[in-house]
Amino acid sequence: MIDALNHLPRPRAGADQLAEAFSDLAPPLTARQAAVESARCLYCYDAPCVNACPSEIDIPSFIHRISDENLQGAAERILSANILGGSCARVCPTEILCQQACVRNNAQECAPVLIGQLQRYALDHADFTEHPFQRSPASGKRIAVVGAGPAGLSCAHRLAMHGHDVVIFEAREKAGGLNEYGIARYKLVDDYAQREVEFLLGIGGIEIRHGQRLGGNLSLAELHGQYDAVFLGLGLGAVRQLGLADEDAPGLLAATDYIRELRQADDLAQLPLADRCLVLGAGNTAIDMAVQMSRLGARDVNLVYRRGEADMGATGHEQEIAKHNQVRLHTWARPDAVLLDDAGRVRGMRFARTQLIDGRLGDTGETFELAADAIFKAIGQRFDEQGLGDPLAAQLARDGERIQVDAHMRTSIPGIYAGGDCTALGQDLTVQAVQHGKLAAEAIHAQLMLNVEAA
């Protein structure tokens, strides 16, 4: 249980009511709906939706197969580009990616083709009797992958396809990374993240070792010496701090910590509930946190951001979800002080009004207070420096705090690759992490084969 919130009450709703509150955010398409929607696709030759997809899925091709009732063919086309296409179909911000680029997304049309929901339909209804991809003959090469999140899993699967043996080193007790521990529960229901991992592992040649933490019981120098290549899919494991006094008071914690507990909870009725809560931040994690508190039964949920709505990291679609769930949005407000009750627990927060002064954010001199039983920080995550604590890891070139990579996901140390949120390349999205893993695997394979030819 979350120690910082143990003093709070539990949800008033019963198990059935809570289960309904956390049911699928976007109900899947029926066969009739999928047929109608797939018929709307124009199958563009130079499809802008493909260019907008970070994982380069051939969207017109898989939609055409759906229209032809070839769901297995559609699914194989998706998975050949994105092995985690099922979760991406559920969590991707398609409204700013493929669907925004759809040629039907204009003033003369009703709406873009529902690409994400069609992708989910194909993968949910494909009838695979065995894994759709077969391994190449064994290469005799072994690659270490650090992190069983989307980037690491994608890299491992593509390497296994090429006939290499892969060992994934994962700190947590479950694989899946952000999909397992960091996505709103109503976006990935029915233990989907674990089912997708099991499907991916079906190709064979991939071993996952849990309880292995880089910088703890795992050394990059040892991995570099023992394996033919190393891929780092570390993610961003540390939480940014507010820099305020009493930041460790009971009732104040990282939103990601609560979301992790919520996703792993067998009984939602046992979670601590803040009747009045504040969420600090304006990204998708902040929205996920606020909406889930509202669905658990919080009466007063406020999301506070230091800039204006136009600067929010959360998409317009996510913002509408928050508003639909009675989340109040306060902009142009900076956390100024944590307010405590006589027992030293959170009772609210004081905010300073902000404004742009010569293009820079500054205070107006005004302040206001909001009452709260709990405050959740969703102000961004940062790199966990402990992960790169050994001498070899410390030599990795960095872009700011993240690992520097080139277009082939190669780090500054030969034989070591990296991808996902721990790098500064691309967007911090699940689909982008999947693409990074895939690109790294192809680069690793090409280099290993080049070394074999040279020998």
- The CA–CA distances, whole Å, from 340 to 235, 262, 298 equal 33, 25, 20
pLDDT at 388: 81
Per-residue confidence band for 387, with pLDDT thresholds at 50, 70 and 90:
confident
Task: Please compute Rg for the chain using Cα positions.
Answer: 23
> Across the strands, what pairs with 423?
403
User: In 73-223, at which residue ranges do the beta strands (DSSP E only) sit?
Assistant: 142-146, 165-170, 206-210
Summarize pLDDT for 207-249 with one digit per residue, the tens: 999 999 998 899 999 999 999 999 999 988 888 899 999 999 9
What ranges do the domains of the chain cover?
Answer: 31-125, 142-237+383-454, 241-380
Round the average pLDDT of the chain to a whole number and report it: 94
| Total length of the chain | 455
End-to-end CA distance of the chain: 55
Give CATH for domain 31-125. Answer: 1.10.1060.10
Task: Name the nearest CA neighbour of 302 among 381, 357, 378, 216.
Answer: 378
The mean-pLDDT minimum among 34-43, 265-274, 375-384 falls in: 375-384
Neighbours of 267 (CB within 10 A): 9
Instruction: Give tens-digit pLDDT for 289-317.
Output: 999 999 999 999 999 999 999 999 999 99
pLDDT in tens, 81-123: 999 999 999 999 999 999 999 999 988 888 999 999 999 999 9
Q: How far apart are CA 139 and CA 71, in angstroms?
A: 33
Domain spanning 241-380: CATH 3.20.20.150: no
Higher pLDDT, 189 or 427: 189
| Mean pLDDT confidence for 386-405 | 88
CATH code, residues 142-237+383-454: 3.50.50.60
* Phi, psi for 317 (deg, rounded to 5): -60, -45
Given a cut of 70, is residue 454 above it in pLDDT?
no
Q: What is the mean pLDDT of the segment spanning 48-56?
A: 96
Residue 375 has pLDDT above 70, yes or no: yes
Planar angle of CA 143, 137, 209, nearest 5 degrees: 30
Closest CA to 338 of 238, 239, 253: 253
Split at pLDDT 50, 70, 90, the class of 1 is: low
Mean pLDDT computed over 390-411: 92
Which pLDDT belongs to residue 176? 96
How far, in Å, CA of 266 to CA of 455, rounded? 54
Q: What is the C-alpha to C-alpha distance for residues 327 and 316, in angstroms, rounded to an integer?
A: 14
Rounded Cα distance, 276 and 301, in Å: 6
What is the SS3 assignment for 137?
coil
Each residue of 343-354: pLDDT tens digit?
999 999 999 999
* Mean local confidence (pLDDT), 170-178: 96
H or E segment to which residue 439 belongs: helix 430-454
300-304 and 327-330 as β-strands: parallel, antiparallel, unpaired?
Answer: parallel
Q: What percent of the chain lies above the pLDDT cut of 70? A: 99
Q: Please check whether the two domains, 31-125 and 142-237+383-454, share a CATH topology.
A: no
pLDDT interval class at 2 (50, 70, 90): confident
Q: Is the pLDDT reported for residue 367 higher than 70?
A: yes
- pLDDT at residue 225 in the model: 95
Q: At what angle do helices 59-67 and 115-125 cross, to 10 degrees?
A: 60
pLDDT confidence of residue 391: 87
The pLDDT of 36-53, averaged and rounded, is 94
Q: Which two tokens stand for residue 176?
A: 């899946």
pLDDT recorded at residue 130 = 87
Give the per-residue pLDDT at 455. Answer: 54
Neighbours of 163 (CB within 10 A): 15
Counting beta carbons within 10 angstroms of the beta carbon of residue 37, is it exposed (0 to 12), middle (13 to 18) or buried (19 or more)?
Answer: buried
Q: What is the mean predicted confidence (pLDDT) over 44-67? A: 95
